Structures are given as C-alpha cells and as structure tokens.
C-alpha cells in the first residue's frame, strides 16, 4: 500500500510530490514518458539551445524562489537580458513598435479616438461583482475600448494563452486584472493602489531561465525524488475497491487511499471514464488548442531588426497565422552560436487550427510572414518544429463553474485529487505555488 499515488510528472506532479515529501509523505510518482517535465523540454543542437515548450519562468513572491534555493538551482539561474523589458507589437502599417507610454500617442497603433477612449478609463464606473460572467473581450471593450482590444489585448491573449479573448473568461483567465477594477474602481486607480500597498520587503520580480534551458528544473526535481519517480510507466487503468485506489501499468498494480491526477484534463478523463462518466465528461470538455513552436536560426547579418527586446506580438486583425516571435538569443545568453541569432515563432492557438499540418508547412508559413516584418533575407541556417497537439488549457466562459462541478463530482470519490494547470493558472509559477499550498492545506489524515 502506497502513501500517495501521483500520476503525471509534469511540473504540477513533480512539485506536488516534492512538497508532500517535505511534509513527511512518501509519494509514488508515475510518468508515461521516458523523462519527466511534460512540455518543459530543452535541446542542444548545432550550437543552439532551444526550449520546445515554455521559454521563461517569472519569479515572484517567496514560494518558487525558496524552492529553487532548496533544489540548489541558484547557480544555474540565468537572468533575462534587461532588454527583455522592451516588447514589440506589430502596428497597422506592419511595423514592429516598442510598447510603452509613447506608443499610445504615436507609433501607428491607436487612432486619436482610440487614445481618447483609453485615457477615459479612470472615469468609467466598475461593473458589479454579482453581474454575470464576462469575457476578456467584453471586459476590455468596456474598460479600454475596441481599439485597445484589437491592437493591445488580443495579441497578448493569443500570444501568451493561445486563446480567443471573446471566449475566455476574465474571471478565470485574468482575475488579477478584474481585481484592480474592483479594488480601485478603475484599472488605473487599482494599479496605483496595489503599488502603494506593496511592502518594501516584497521580492523583486525576475524573469529567468537556466544555463541548460528550463528542462533543468524538472530534471533536478526528478533527481531529488529518486526512486519515488518511475518513468516509462504509463498508467492504463484505474480502479477503486473498498476505498482503495488501484493504478495499473502493464503487469504492475499499486494501491493507495490517496490518488492525485496531475494530468491534462483529457488524459484524466480517459482514466476516470470507467469509474465516473459524468466526471470524465466535464474534464474532457476543457479545450486545448494545438500550438507549434518553431526554433529558427539565422546569421546575425541576415536580420535588419535590432532584436533589442523580448520579442514581437502580432495582432490577429493583421490576418497572419503567426502569433508572435521571441528574440530567444537576446532574451538569454548562450542560445545561439557566435554571430548567429535564435528566434522562436509560435503558430496555432484557438483562433487558428493547425491540426494535421506538417512541420515544413508551419515553418514555411512562419518564415513567409515574419521575414518581411523583421527585415530577414535568405534562408535560415537552423530550424526545428515542435507541435503540441494539446498545448494550453483554455479558461473559457463557464470554466469556473465547470471546475466547481468537477470538485463536486470528485467529492463522491474519497481520496481523489487533481493538480494541473487547468485549475488555478496556466503559468509555471502558478502550478508550483498551488502545489505548495496543496501540500500545506490538504489536511489529510494518515
């Protein structure tokens, strides 16, 4: 009989196992793949270091920085280039312009009407909290106007969440933004109030990676877990008998009173379908669009743009398929050979279905679209494509109510828990923080 069985060694499963061990538990973590980490994968090829999933980690608060210290990862941390504070967005003239206060009054992004609408935000009354759920698009239109949605927020939502602001819930996707309106009466006043409330001792937010890429983190956690982690162990069947959960892989079966599914919602649904069809249906209804991550290398002299920033977002109104481009070798050192640069382009998401398209097609599309925008001539000297068929869970309208239904249905199965990025946030830091809180607050009885 195992103390706790955790299925899925992505960052949520790894962090949950690690923090539970700190609390004196002996978890067994089962992973189908040969290596842990899920989409946290890094590769060194031909002098290029590419992250195939997430490309950076935002350090804030206390929990994650302390965990990295506990893992003795501080010496491996690479700080983002200060230039990463500059972020480009494509304007209506197909020119990359740096975001900042000046872009609102020039740069070919917003019209005079759009700027005036934006400046009027502090004078608009907040929406009542008891009103019905609101989409990100409706929230932004109400507070900032249609142009701000089209040229500022839509590219951010599609580039960061691979989502459609007309379908995503602001309450679920951007709760901190909604809180600014409710706390201050407007976004501007709420932001000023939040800044004034911030303690002088609050740790500075830092954007980081590691010398060998983000995969360093799951590999280090795996090393710390030792025999508690078993890779190449796909769980094919779950069962429950007399209050005990059974997880079977091949000829092996493990039992525990406590089962944690740290899996994408669809994968959890498939395992739970024989036990609870209604619960499986709710999980399976959470959408995950496909996203392609394209790592593209050039000689520096091939690109006219200075690449002096984090990257460039592309508004959907421009009619291009590419969501955005990271200037990866600017963002972190050591990502490309001398006199060469690495770009990472993203394509797909909720507003552009790429299912069934080949790597060559996606690469050709991205090159056709970004080369004129960045002044790129000639062919790349390096290119790789990684497509994630189910990339990022979408917190669409009704998501919070769906999670409540999932919790109510799972309560019928004592000892069943979920830890995954379809719950409390899709960012890496959110997954780690929630795993820590879960280990502290779960209140299990041995």
Per the CB < 8 A criterion, the answer to whether 205 and 55 are in contact is no
Half-sphere exposure of 320 (CA within 13 A, CB side): 28
9-48 burial: b if 16+ Cβ within 10 Å, else e: bbbbbbbbbbbbbeeebebbbbbbeeebbbbbbbeeeeeb
Closest CA to 65 of 207, 232, 170: 207
In a domain, 277, yes or no: yes
Tokens of 284: 């399976």
Residue bearing tokens 């009704």: 398
In a domain, 101, yes or no: no
Identify whether residues 294 and 379 lie together within a single domain: yes
Domain boundary among 354, 373, 388: 388
Determine the Cα–Cα distance for residues 34 and 27; give it in Å rounded to an integer.
19
pLDDT, tens digit (0-9, with 9 covering 90-100), for 143-201: 999 999 999 999 999 999 999 999 999 999 999 998 998 888 888 888 888 877 777 77
Q: Where are the alpha helices (DSSP H) in 174-327?
A: 175-184, 187-197, 216-225, 265-272, 277-284
Domains of the chain: total: 2
pLDDT, tens digit (0-9, with 9 covering 90-100), for 216-250: 999 999 999 999 999 999 999 999 988 899 999 99
Identify whether residues 346 and 416 lie together within a single domain: no
3-state SS, residue 298? strand
3-state SS, residue 3? coil
Identify whether residues 293 and 376 lie together within a single domain: yes
Pairing of strands 88-90, 311-313: parallel
In a domain, 373, yes or no: yes
Closest CA to 381 of 367, 392, 368, 395: 367
Half-sphere exposure of 369 (CA within 13 A, CB side): 24
Q: 298: domain CATH number?
A: 3.90.660.20
Identify whether residues 257 and 328 lie together within a single domain: no
Q: 223: domain CATH number?
A: 3.50.50.60
Identify whether residues 274 and 361 lie together within a single domain: no
In a domain, 302, yes or no: yes
In a domain, 225, yes or no: yes
In a domain, 14, yes or no: yes
- What band does 107 get if pLDDT is binned at 50, 70 and 90? confident
Write down the pLDDT at residue 134. Answer: 94
Write down the pLDDT at residue 218. Answer: 98
Identify whether residues 218 and 362 lie together within a single domain: no
Domain of residue 247 covers 4-55+214-287+394-440
Mean pLDDT of the 313-321 span: 96
Identify whether residues 252 and 264 lie together within a single domain: yes
Residue 255's beta-bridge partner residues? 246
Identify whether residues 325 and 366 lie together within a single domain: yes
Determine the Cα–Cα distance for residues 120 and 129; give it in Å rounded to an integer.
21
Per the CB < 8 A criterion, the answer to whether 263 and 8 are in contact is yes
Identify whether residues 296 and 283 lie together within a single domain: no
């Amino acid at each position: 009989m195992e103390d706790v069985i955790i299925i899925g060694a992505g960052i949520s499963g790894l962090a949950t196992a690690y923090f539970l061990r700190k609390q004196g538990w002996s978890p067994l973590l089962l992973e189908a793949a040969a290596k842990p980490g899920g989409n946290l994968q890094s590769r060194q090829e031909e002098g290029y270091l590419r992250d195939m999933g997430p490309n950076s980690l935002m350090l804030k608060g206390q929990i994650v920085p302390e965990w990295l210290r506990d893992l003795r990862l501080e010496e491996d941390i690479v700080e983002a280039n200060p230039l990463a504070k500059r972020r480009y967005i494509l304007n209506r003239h197909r020119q990359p312009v740096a975001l900042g206060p000046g872009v609102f009054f020039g740069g070919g992004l917003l019209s005079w009407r759009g700027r005036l609408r934006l400046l009027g935000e502090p004078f608009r009354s907040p929406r009542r909290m008891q009103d019905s759920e609101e989409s990100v698009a409706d929230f932004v239109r109400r507070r900032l106007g249609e142009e701000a949605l089209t040229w500022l927020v839509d590219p951010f939502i599609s580039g960061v969440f691979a989502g459609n602001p007309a379908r995503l819930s602001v309450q679920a996707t951007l709760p901190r933004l909604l809180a600014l309106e409710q706390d201050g009466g407007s976004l501007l006043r709420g932001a000023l109030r939040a800044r004034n409330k911030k303690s002088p001792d609050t740790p500075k937010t830092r954007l980081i990676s590691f010398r060998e890429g983000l995969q360093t983190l799951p590999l280090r956690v795996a090393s710390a877990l030792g025999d508690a982690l078993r890779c190449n162990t796909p769980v094919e069947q779950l069962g429950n008998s007399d209050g005990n959960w059974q997880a079977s892989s091949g000829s092996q079966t493990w039992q525990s009173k406590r089962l944690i599914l740290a899996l994408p919602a669809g994968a959890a649904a498939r395992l739970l379908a024989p036990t609870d069809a209604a619960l499986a249906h709710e999980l399976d209804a959470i959408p995950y669009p496909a996203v392609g991550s394209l790592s593209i290398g050039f000689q520096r002299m091939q690109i006219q743009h200075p690449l002096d920033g984090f990257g460039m977002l592309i508004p959907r109104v421009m009619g291009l398929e590419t969501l955005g481009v990271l200037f990866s070798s600017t963002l972190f050192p050591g990502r490309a050979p001398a006199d060469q640069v690495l770009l990472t382009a993203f394509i797909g998401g909720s507003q552009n279905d790429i299912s069934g398209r080949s790597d060559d097609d996606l690469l050709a599309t991205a090159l056709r679209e970004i080369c004129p925008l960045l002044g790129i001539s000639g062919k790349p000297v390096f290119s790789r494509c990684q497509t994630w068929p189910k990339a990022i869970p979408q917190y669409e309208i009704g998501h919070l109510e769906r999670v409540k239904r999932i919790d109510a249905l799972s309560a019928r199965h004592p000892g069943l828990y979920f830890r995954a990025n379809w719950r409390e946030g899709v960012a890496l830091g959110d997954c780690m923080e929630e795993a820590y809180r879960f280990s502290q607050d779960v209140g299990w009885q041995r």
